[in-house]
Amino acid sequence: MPRHADASGEVKPDAPSSTLEALRRPSVPRRRSIFAIPAPVKQLFNRFPLAMYDANELPLSAPRSRELLRLYVFADGGGDGLEVVSFNPSCLKYQAYLRFRNIQFRVVSSSNHASPSGSLPFLLPKSAGTSGDSQSLDPIPGNKLAKWADGQESKFEEPSDPRSDAYMALVDHSIRRAWLYALYLTSNFRSVIWPLYILPTSSNSLVRWSIGYDLRKAAEAELLKFSPTIDADLLYLEARDAFESLDGILGSDTWFFGAKEPGLLDAAVFAYTNFLLDPNYGSGWTDDWLVGALEGRDGLRRHREQIREQYFVVS
Amino acid sequence: MSLEVHVWGSAFDLPSIDPECLATVCLLNSFMRSEVQWKLIPNFDLSFSPNRTFPVLVDGDQKIAGYDRVLRHLRNRDMLLEPAGPAPELDPSVVSAFLRSQGQQLLDLSLYVSSENYYESTRSAYTKLLPLHINYFLPLSLRASAKARTQHLGLSSLDLDAEEPSDSRKPATNTAIPPPTQTAAQAGKVQKSITSFLRKSPHVDHIRLDSLATSFFDVLEELLAKDYFGMTNEGTRPVDCLLFGYLALMLYPDVPHKWLGDAIRRRYPRIKEHVEHLRRYFLSDLPTPPWSPAPSRGLTAPLYDLGHIVKSSIQISKPSSQAWVGMALLVGCLAFRSGAGRSPAVNYIFPAR
């Protein structure tokens, strides 16, 4: 602020101050930001768009007709038939579960890149006529599929047993971790995972190598979340105990907990046993310690055969 | 021959701060045969353990780490006096998988991820257990692993240290751009007030936390109600130790944000009753376990710890250390380039015009 010093050396403020005057003014015109669009330019742009083109056509690989539900999974080939069985446990779990619920769907062989959430499986609902609301057309991610299936009109009694959740933890915790170790961190990675997951994604060996590296790292990180070191023996013992107690609780029943229809736990167990008991995936198991954990579990073998015969058509 | 059992030290008025160690203390104290000599040693040096976890059982030359392995070892040596009678209907491996997959998540969220609880309770509990130099990094790395375990739940708002709430559930389109009339200073003020609101509000993400706790406790309550654990049989069983280990750390710690303990107290009387029964049995009725002081550390220990600190802090601050290495390389390259122009050798190869 400019100040005047008089002869005595005293400093006096400017009087009257121009800022004070400005504040006293009855109405202050609204200040325009320098970033505001000038009026003529704004008027010009208000005329846009001058013309609207039609939306681009969907790519050729996009589903043309959506009369049928489409379940995107990791699988060899896809189709309407019942012969496609996913080789990924979390995909197969829901594939089997939807079959149990007698829901008609088409299996689409896909990869993570197709999924809105970045992971498979997901279900693309069928369009409800031409004027279906967009909400009902959103893809349903895997973890919401069970809830979604509950909302469908189908006469299905989900077997409810409190033990089911506890046994599910056994599958998701003990068996899954042993699975991660056995398939990603042993020589099985090269013989089973490589041909199933990595070869179809790219023909470039550098890309393949990078994806393979990422997968192994991810599996390792997942295992290290629960313990600071990876104890393969303990993982194996836990998996063996898990299969033993699953086999024990199944007993001579057809389905878990003596239910009339198979439920989510049946699907989850089948998702692992189906893969473990099939020696033909990839170029075969080179390290079969996890397969050995199923040794003598005849109940689980019978359970797997039952589901394959009743809900899948496999040669 | 005497057995040594090394565990994490005591906290929250419980014998150990770690669920598996707490379970081990209860296991040994209630089921060990009386002729077996054993002692408990509070420990914090993870390098002592073969797989960097506690509990560790030292039996002669053998070191056995982890609750499961300790239990197996003691059974193989026939050192446990387990109650006879019919086996419980629910397999112990099912209970332990259920507790470890779902109970552990809840404990992680309650004691480690939630900033309030971690800073007010958990960290000070560790401060009492650890010497200064280890206290500097160990609780941090435990918290980091708890965050990694619960990352997929999308409850990052509990953790107020996160620089930006990285919500994975957020749609990709950014609809939160402030309107153009708002100046940058105003926008900053709004953000600050939201953060302070989060700091004040103890009920962030309460609904999701609640549904997580409900899905765990509902199952447990029903399993208890239908007696799948075999409670009505003779006394307690080894599986009760693990159950107590996890549930006691949910119920008893006096943390500022008690959503987990309150959930049990308010809605699951049967679980609360059972945990209190187990607490009376394990911690009051039984004689106090034979604690001995932590092993003395040799003269070389500080030197060893220094190496350990450096190693661990590099592990913790991985991204930033990578950034530093990158920066150093960049600076090195620039220095080399600027120096190279004047270097006679290079001038010889590329003669100046």
Cβ neighbours of B95 in A, within 8 Å: 166
Share of chain B above pLDDT 70, in %: 67
Distance CA B112, CA B123 (A): 9
Q: What is the pLDDT of residues A167-212, one digit of tens each?
A: 998 999 999 999 999 999 999 899 888 888 888 888 899 999 999 9
Residues B27 and B82 in one domain: yes
Would you tell me which CATH number, out of the four given (3.40.30, 1.25.10, 1.10.3470, 3.10.20), belongs to the domain A69-129+137-151? Answer: 3.40.30
Residues B119 and B232 in one domain: yes
Are A166 and B104 in contact (CB < 8 Å)?
A: no
Fold of A162-310: Glutathione S-transferase Yfyf (Class Pi); Chain A, domain 2 (1.20.1050)
Quote the pLDDT of residue B234.
Answer: 59
Which 3 state secondary structure label does DSSP give A82? coil
Q: What is the CA radius of gyration of chain A?
A: 32
Residues B22 and B122 grouped into a single domain: yes
Residues sharing a CB contact under 8 Å with residue B98, sequence separation 6 or more, in sequence order:
A165, A166, A169, A170, A173, B219
User: How does DSSP assign B199-235, residue by residue?
Assistant: HH-TTTTHHHHHHHHHHHHHHHHHHHHTTTT-TTSSS
Tell me the chain B residues in contact with residue A227 when contact means C-beta distances shorter than 8 Å: 51, 53, 66
CA A99 to chain CA centroid, Å, is 19
Q: Which residues pair with B56 in a beta bridge?
A: B6, B65
Do residues B311 and B324 share a domain? no
Across A99-103, A213-217, B197-201, least confident range: B197-201
Q: Token digits for A113? A: 């890149």
Q: Which candidate from B101, B149, B222 shows the least CB-CB separation from A169?
A: B101
User: Which one is predicted more confidently, B238 or B337?
Assistant: B238
pLDDT classification of A220: cutoffs 50, 70, 90 = very high
CA–CA gap between residue B351 and residue B85 (Å, rounded): 94
Q: What are phi and psi of A77, to 5 degrees?
A: 70, 165
Which among A162, A225, A227 has the least Cβ separation from residue B223? A162
Give the contacts of A217 (CB within 8 A, at least 6 positions apart): none
B347 and B206 together in one domain: no
| Residue B168 lies inside a defined structural domain of this protein | no
Which burial class, exposed, middle or buried, applies to A104 when counting CB atoms under 10 A from its CB (0-12, 13-18, 19+)?
Answer: exposed
How many independent structural domains does chain B possess?
Answer: 2
Which of the 8 DSSP states describes residue A314? -
Instruction: Say yes or no for a CB contact (<8 Å) between A241 and B93.
Output: yes
What is the token pair recorded at A299? Answer: 């109940």
Q: What local confidence, expressed as pLDDT, does residue B170 receive?
A: 37
Contact criterion met (CB < 8 Å) for B149 and A226: yes
Q: Are residues B310 and B326 in the same domain?
A: no
A4-26 in b/e burial notation, b at 16+ Cβ within 10 A?
eeeeeeeeeeeeeeeeeeeeeee
User: Based on the domain organization, do B18 and B120 belong to the same domain?
Assistant: yes
**How far is Cα A264 from Cα A169, in angstroms, rounded to an integer?**
12
- The DSSP bridge pattern shows strands B37-42 and B62-65 to be unpaired
Instruction: Classify residue B63: in a domain, yes or no.
Output: yes
Contact indicator for B223, B88 with CB cutoff of 8 Å:
no
Q: Are residues B37 and B75 in the same domain?
A: yes
Residue B165 lies in a domain: no
pLDDT tens string B220-269: 998 888 877 766 555 678 888 999 999 999 999 999 888 899 999 999 99
B82 and B227 assigned to the same domain: yes
Give the CA count within 13 Å in the CB-facing half-sphere of A194.
Answer: 18
Strand order in the sheet with A140-141: A105-109, A69-73, A122-124, A140-141
Query: Does residue B325 share a domain with residue B303?
Result: no
* SS3 state at B331: helix
User: What's the domain range around B340?
Assistant: 320-353
Q: Where are the domains of chain A?
A: 69-129+137-151, 162-310
Same domain, B207 and B351: no
The 3-state DSSP composition of chain B as helix, strand, coil percent (nearest 5) reads 60, 5, 35
Instruction: Tell me the average pLDDT across A283-303.
Output: 87
Q: Note the pLDDT tens digit of each residue in B276-318.
A: 999 988 888 777 777 777 655 444 455 555 565 555 555 544 4
Distance, in Å, from the CA atom of B213 to the CA atom of B236, rounded to the nearest integer, reads 25
Same domain, residue pair B329 and B257: no
For residue B175, is it within any domain? no
Reduced to 3 states (helix: H, G, I; strand: E, B; else coil), residue B38 is strand
Q: Examine residue B176 and state whether it is found in any structural domain, yes or no.
A: no
